[in-house]
Amino acid sequence: MADSVEVGSEAYEKYVEAGEILTEVMEEAADRVEVGVTQLEVAEFAEERIRELGGEPAFPVNISVDEEASHAAPGADDDTEFGEEMVCLDVGVHVDGHIADAATTVDLSGNPELVEAAEEALDAAVDAVEPGVHTGEIGAEIQDVIEAYGYNPVVNLTGHGVDVFDAHTGPNVPNRELESGTELEVGDVLAIEPFATDGTGKVSEGSATEIYEVVGEGSVRDRRARQLLDDLEQFDGLPFAARWLDAPRAEMSLRRLEMADVVRSYPVLKEREGALVSQDEHTLVVTEDGCEVTTN
């Protein structure tokens, strides 16, 4: 579980600053998503713009297309261009470890109602947030809206808490109704992210991986892997992209570190039927009379 934050505190102001940076970057990045533009151009633009505005990426920019739901990111030499597709941008910013996480969907595929379903579900979820509400109740709001549009929520993906230098912690915020849940308290920092699909509503792992995270302190014998591990300290435990590394034979070293349970990979998650997925996300702080959205 994330530590609570007091409204008006220095920590709160850093969460707000991260959100302000993210909001500006998201708008600028979304405007660049057009047919014929490469995914790498948009990802690198957003990550560099975050730094220009005084933040750091909290994780690599996720660019998920069509049936992809999460963890999709372009590689260093990726020349994949946007086509007539559904494109989800998921961006994270931190200021001294204080994280903002948001997502939006740019529809180039001609399915605007699927995008609206996720957007309206997020609005309903945010409206439901207040101290004492259970996360399962928020999930019910999300489910009701998405199903009213004739779609399904992605039920094995959830929103989540965020903490200092921790982009994904408790409590989980489901995208469907659950009887049980975590009761929200003043000061909780949450990222709520409805996913809507015209498929069955479940995702599974694909084979592609570009995003990694240090998760352990095991030892490896390989010299290059040990050197790479030293280099990874710069990310302060937050997820990073393989393309951010300039170490020789970095991919081989990453595999060795993963085999030693020092590094975890995040394979791309895809809708099981190959159906379209839309996403919308905001980060917010629970307050005494509701919540304050930091990424709006």
Q: Which tens digits make up the pLDDT trace of 30-58?
A: 999 999 999 999 999 999 999 999 999 99
The stretch 205-215 carries a mean pLDDT of 93
Is the pLDDT at 204 greater than 90? The verdict is yes
**What pLDDT was estimated at residue 230?**
92
94 tagged catalytic: no
Annotated binding-site members: 71, 90, 101, 160, 168, 193, 281
CA gap 90, 167 in Å, rounded: 12
Model's pTM, two decimal places?
Answer: 0.94
Residues 118 and 234 in one domain: no
Total number of domains constituting the chain: 2
> Is 168 one of the catalytic residues?
yes
CATH number, residue 224:
1.10.10.10
Residues 169 and 224 in one domain: no
What are the binding residues for substrate? 71, 168
Q: Which of 1-5, 117-121, 208-212 has the lowest mean pLDDT?
A: 1-5
- Based on the residue annotation, tell me whether 13 is a catalytic residue of this protein: no
* Residue 2 located in a structural domain: no
* 108 and 246 within one domain: no
Are residue 56 and residue 158 in the same domain, yes or no?
Answer: yes
Position 131 scores a pLDDT of: 97
**Whether residue 145 is found in the same domain as residue 221:** no
What percent of the chain shows pLDDT beyond 70?
100
Residue 2 has pLDDT above 80, yes or no: no
Whether residue 252 is contained in a domain is answered as yes
Residue 46 lies in a domain: yes
Q: Which segments are annotated as binding site for a divalent metal cation?
A: 90, 101, 160, 193, 281
pLDDT band at 247 (very low <50, low <70, confident <90, very high): confident
Signed CA dihedral, 46, 252, 238, 180: sign only = positive
CB proximity list for 77: less than 8 A, separation 6 or greater: none
Q: Are 24 and 100 in contact (CB under 8 A)?
A: no
CB 119, CB 107: distance < 8 Å: no
Q: Is residue 95 within 8 Å of residue 20, measured between CB atoms?
A: no
111 and 241 belong to one structural domain: no
Sign of CA dihedral 249, 251, 257, 262: positive
**295, 19 in Cβ contact below 8 A?**
yes
Are both 118 and 36 inside the same structural domain?
yes
Q: How does pLDDT run across 60-77, given as a tens digit for each residue?
A: 999 999 999 999 999 999
Residue 4 lies in a domain: no
Of the residues 47, 107, 271, 281, only one is catalytic, namely 281
CATH code of the domain in which 99 resides: 3.90.230.10
- Residue 133 in any domain: the answer is yes
Residues 6+ apart with CB under 8 A from 69: 88, 154, 157, 195, 197, 203, 269, 270, 271, 277, 279
For residue 193, indicate whether it is catalytic. yes
The residue with tokens 């991919």 is 251
Cis, bond preceding 171 (omega within 30 deg of 0): yes
Annotated catalytic residue: which of 17, 67, 101, 280?
101
Q: Name the phi and psi angles at 2, rounded to 5.
A: -75, 150
Q: Does residue 228 share a domain with residue 197?
A: no
One domain for residues 189 and 213: no
In a domain? residue 22:
yes
**pLDDT of 183-195, one tens digit each?**
999 999 999 999 9
The residue annotated as part of the active site, out of 163, 193, 198, 271, is 193
- Catalytic-residue membership of 90: yes
Q: Which of 90, 137, 166, 271 is catalytic?
A: 90
Q: Is 101 a catalytic residue?
A: yes
Catalytic residue among 94, 160, 166, 282: 160
Same domain, 69 and 195: yes
Which residues constitute the domain of residue 250?
A: 209-268
Question: Does some domain include residue 230?
Answer: yes
- Give the residue from 162, 172, 158, 5 showing the smallest Cα distance to 94: 162
- Is residue 75 located within the same domain as residue 195? yes
3 part of a folded domain: no
Same domain, 175 and 260: no
- How far, in Å, CA of 74 to CA of 61, rounded? 9
